[in-house]
Amino acid sequence: MALGGMFRNAAAIYLHLVGPFRGKKSGASLARCLHQTLVMTKQLQARRLNGIDHNPWVEFVKLASEADVVNLGQGFPDFAPPDFAVEAFQHAVSGDFMLNQYTKAFGYPPLTKILASFFGKLLGQDMDPLKNVLVTVGAYGALFTAFQALVDEGDEVIIIEPFFDCYEPMTLMAGGRPVFVSLKLSPNQDRELDSSSNWQLDPTELASKFTSRTKALILNTPNNPLGKVFSRAELELVASLCQQHDVVCITDEVYQWLVYDGCQHVSIATLPGMWERTLTIGSAGKTFSATGWKVGWVLGPESLLKHLRTVHQNSIFHCPTQAQAAVAQSFEREQLHFGQPSSYFVQLPQAIQRCRDHMIQSLKSVGLRPVIPQGSYFLITDISEFKSKMPNLPGAADEPYDRRFVKWMIKNKGLMAIPVSIFYSVPHQKLFDHYIRFCFMKDESTLQAMDKKLQKWKDDLRP
Ligand SMILES: Cc1ncc(COP(=O)(O)O)c(C=O)c1O
């Protein structure tokens, strides 16, 4: 009876709202839409999505697609992967037809084998391809799997700011509580430009973030967006706190080959006592300049990886076989050339350092002050001077300055960057809204297009 009444009421509301539109074409689809809204009264969205359903990237990525804008915002190369990798992919597609079929759930065997032998040497571990390696859908997939496998309701996860922005929603989706600690810029008197190495962790502050509820710390070296490469001493500090408080370290090392000025990338898993509590994450997209392949991996001890395999098995189960075969063959090639001038891992950072230096010089010419990155393919620039000279750029009253500046720069200067405040937790965004991020992993033609825009910008500055 009660149910019948509910339906009658729903029908009455439906007629009241939709009646005036009847007979019109657009009215018919609106009617369908309203009808659906009215009959589905349960909350649709799972509670784990609360607070994470707005993504600022959507707005900025859309702006990048507008005509005549040089996109220096998003992090991907706009040039071809190396020939050997492209050929490996072609071979995977046109060779053995069985590569069109499923392979082993935790990774195509030749790939897990070469990852175990290649990284086993780098990490100083005798790695078993079946136990210590999991192949995932990009490093993104690796991160998601790790958070889902290890972080429980109420667990705390320490995140170092500025951070690759998915770490926070991934912690929340797993039921965890993100605990933020910011890198601080130490004053630099003697150099014209700051370096990402001047951004450091305060040891006392970092130590104060560890509690009995801390489950994991997420590290990203070289860091996106800052380009900081954590020194051995900094990693030793993180390692000793993780050990003291029995915490897992998830380390995102997707830019490990992109280090400049002779800087050394150190994997925290190589420090004494760390292998047993570390998950090391990598990406073929970043390694072979092929972000669309979406092949990633997690390396670690069996005691941790067995839980990630449970998530993997019950979510995506399996990654595309042909892309895995191409990555396997590319690593086999790199293993043969390792450390030699012919190695892509040697050649790539040399070429990209030239792109970095080109961009630094160009951005300086209009008063953007780059922070020299030691690694990754990003740099941030200080826009404080613009903030004092043009504080009232259009935008919502509470919108951080860097977001308004980026929109202004896209519209008036035809250049796209990413506001750095989106790499901070909400309470800290206003403190770091005087930086924007550029990607310098770009083809010569893109850098020339940038120079043209900057030349025009410089001309406009002339009195
Ligand atoms: C720090 C960091 N980790 C992970 C990823 C994701 O890598 P993938 O494309 O392999 O999923 C990115 C991509 O931009 C990144 O910058």
Cβ atoms of 79 and 443 within 8 Å: the answer is yes
* 18 pLDDT higher than 80: no
* 131 pLDDT higher than 90: yes
The reported pLDDT for the residue numbered 6 is 39
The reported pLDDT for the residue numbered 23 is 44
Atom 16 of ligand 1, residue of closest alpha carbon = 224
* 29 pLDDT higher than 70: no
Burial track 247-270 (b if 16+ CB lie within 10 A, e otherwise): bbbbbbbbbbbbbbeebebbbbbb
Question: What fold is seen in the domain 83-337?
Answer: Aspartate Aminotransferase; domain 2 (3.40.640)
Cα angle 313, 315, 319 (rounded to 5 degrees) comes to 75
283 lines ligand 1 (CB under 6 A): yes
CA of 283 to the centre of ligand 1 (A): 7
CA of 225 to the centre of ligand 1 (A): 11
CA of 128 to the centre of ligand 1 (A): 25
Atom number of ligand 1 nearest to Cα 285:
10
| Nearest in space to 298 (alpha carbons), one of 92, 71, 423, 141 | 141
CA of 385 to the centre of ligand 1 (A): 31
pLDDT in tens, 397-437: 889 999 999 999 999 999 999 999 999 999 999 999 999 99
291 lines ligand 1 (CB under 6 A): yes
Q: CA 433, CA 382: separation in Å to the nearest integer?
A: 9
Atom number of ligand 1 nearest to Cα 295:
10
Share of the chain above pLDDT 90, in %: 81
Task: Provide the pLDDT confidence category of residue 1 given band limits of 50, 70 and 90.
Answer: very low
Atom number of ligand 1 nearest to Cα 143:
4
Q: CA 453, CA 438: separation in Å to the nearest integer?
A: 15
Task: Provide the pLDDT confidence category of residue 31 given band limits of 50, 70 and 90.
Answer: low
The reported pLDDT for the residue numbered 441 is 97
The reported pLDDT for the residue numbered 30 is 56
Task: Provide the pLDDT confidence category of residue 81 given band limits of 50, 70 and 90.
Answer: very high
The reported pLDDT for the residue numbered 187 is 77
Task: Provide the pLDDT confidence category of residue 7 given band limits of 50, 70 and 90.
Answer: very low
Cβ atoms of 438 and 72 within 8 Å: the answer is yes
Taking CA atoms, 287 is separated from 83, 226, 254, 345, 352, in Å, by: 14, 19, 7, 8, 13
Q: Which residues lie closer than 8 Å to 425 by C-beta, 6 or more apart?
A: 159, 161, 168, 178, 180
Q: Are 49-80+343-461 and 83-337 equal in CATH topology?
A: no
100 HSE (CA, 13 A, CB side): 5
The reported pLDDT for the residue numbered 24 is 46
The reported pLDDT for the residue numbered 36 is 56
pLDDT in tens, 170-225: 999 999 999 999 999 987 766 688 999 999 999 999 999 999 999 999 999 999 99
The reported pLDDT for the residue numbered 56 is 77
74 lines ligand 1 (CB under 6 A): no
Sketch the domain layout of the chain as residue ranges.
49-80+343-461, 83-337
The reported pLDDT for the residue numbered 142 is 98
CATH 3.50.50.60 fits 49-80+343-461, yes or no: no
> From the CA atom positions of the chain, what is the Rg in Å?
25
Atom 14 of ligand 1, residue of closest alpha carbon = 75
* 78 pLDDT higher than 50: yes
CA of 285 to the centre of ligand 1 (A): 8
**Whole-number mean pLDDT of the chain?**
91
The reported pLDDT for the residue numbered 10 is 41
DSSP single-letter state for residue 275? G
The reported pLDDT for the residue numbered 362 is 97
297 lines ligand 1 (CB under 6 A): no
136 lines ligand 1 (CB under 6 A): no
CA of 145 to the centre of ligand 1 (A): 14
* pTM of the predicted model over 0.85: yes
Cα 96 to chain center, whole Å? 34
Q: CA 445, CA 178: separation in Å to the nearest integer?
A: 41
Both tokens of residue 451?
Answer: 């120079």
Atom number of ligand 1 nearest to Cα 140:
11
Taking CA atoms, 234 is separated from 199, 228, 266, 276, in Å, by: 11, 11, 10, 19
The reported pLDDT for the residue numbered 38 is 59
pLDDT in tens, 311-347: 999 999 999 999 999 999 999 999 999 999 999 999 9
139 lines ligand 1 (CB under 6 A): yes
Burial track 80-117 (b if 16+ CB lie within 10 A, e otherwise): ebbebbeebbeebeeeeeebeeebeebbbebbbbbbbe
Q: Is 160 exposed, middle or buried (0-12, 13-18, 19+ CB in 10 A)?
A: buried
CA of 250 to the centre of ligand 1 (A): 14
Cβ atoms of 250 and 279 within 8 Å: the answer is yes
Atom number of ligand 1 nearest to Cα 296:
10
Q: CA 158, CA 219: separation in Å to the nearest integer?
A: 9
375 lines ligand 1 (CB under 6 A): no
